Structure 1
Amino acid sequence: MKFEILPVTRFMQNCTLLGCEESGKAAVVDPGGDVEQILARAEAGCLKIEKILLTHGHIDHAGGAGELARRLEVPIEGPQIEDEFWIDSLPAQSEMFGFPPVRAFVPDRWLEQGDRVSFGKVVLNVYHCPGHTPGHVIFFHPESHLALVGDVLFKGSIGRTDFPRGDYDALIHSIRKRLFPLGDEVRFIPGHGPMSTFGEERQSNPFVGEKI
């Protein structure tokens, strides 16, 4: 599996284009906006997008999902259903944060702990990791030791929990009990900022490191 990180919107959210090297099929994770940019990169890489995956329902992660799904006639999978209220509020979120008008949508599939999602011949494992939002999920590709963690964990930091239904204790539990056990060698793509590894964060992250 190959990947390309595409920072989108003025929040510089890490939308990720995942590609199956064998089939040329692709999935887009968290298309928060800038749909034309996403489509151009897929075309440049000779990738056919067949699915949209969402970690959670915040505008900078999900704002472009509905438009992209309509234009390509592809399904949206994720997040977990506890984020339904965030998806329903996308129009209000877009107005609040000065985004182009966005319509709410219903994902074709809500995801749960233990589910799997696929595109081409690539299979990703789904982990429910609440805290930043109640329905936040992450995607893990064991073969390449790569995780896409949305706003759960960052290089040197963790996700905010001061939004509606955020839960600090749940977030810490998600990181320590669901992310870190995947392995120190696992690289992760956060929702914003540079990549890191779970091992590096387990050792040195000031919020969830071993010395805390």
Structure 2
Amino acid sequence: MFIQIIQGRCRDAEQVHRLTDEWRETMGPRAEGWLGGTYGITDDGEFVAVVRFESREAAARNSTRPEQGEWFDRMRQCFDGDVVFHDCDDAVMFLDGGSDDAGFVQVVQGRVSDPTAFRRFMEQPMDVLHEQRPEIIGGTIAMEPDGWFTETVAFRSEDEARAGEVKQMPEDARREWEEQMAAMTDLRYLDLHSPWFASSMRSGMGTGMGSGTGTAP
């Protein structure tokens, strides 16, 4: 699986939302390998999109479509400054991966000192997390070779997410998680209070957008 993260300072939230809906309805069905997307805008106006494709090659083929370029030209006008893209071939899902019914999504970005160890940790069974934090539906982890990562966590609701933050985990699980947190730096937490989603017929879960040339929303 290939994940691309798109971020930028948004100055027209309504138009961004309309354009992502337009892409899903008119171009998404013909986008080879597109699986889905999770989108949102933070309180301070930062747009975040997390896009899943079956492969980097499928995403690249989509970016060459003329209609894709025209669409992205319109999307770019909704931003102040540059739109930043992160392409991640190293991507995994955890728990149920996510859901188009999620009421709140938190995006966590930062850097890990040992990407291989972090991936192993995220791929292990998460029965304890599921039992202790049932409000967490699931999410994705996308990493670049230098350890920079973006994690999306889908929650049933923001109220449940905030209540769950203060719960005490069992000692072993807490210690293991604290060890992983100690290996992270430059952490940022981006709260998407009103996320929206798009899903392909090929995907059972909505989390996806495009390439440096505007691959897809």
TM-score normalised per structure 1: 0.29
Q: Which has the higher strand share?
A: 2
TM-score, structure 2 as length reference: 0.28
Higher relative contact order (CA 8 A, sep 6+): 2
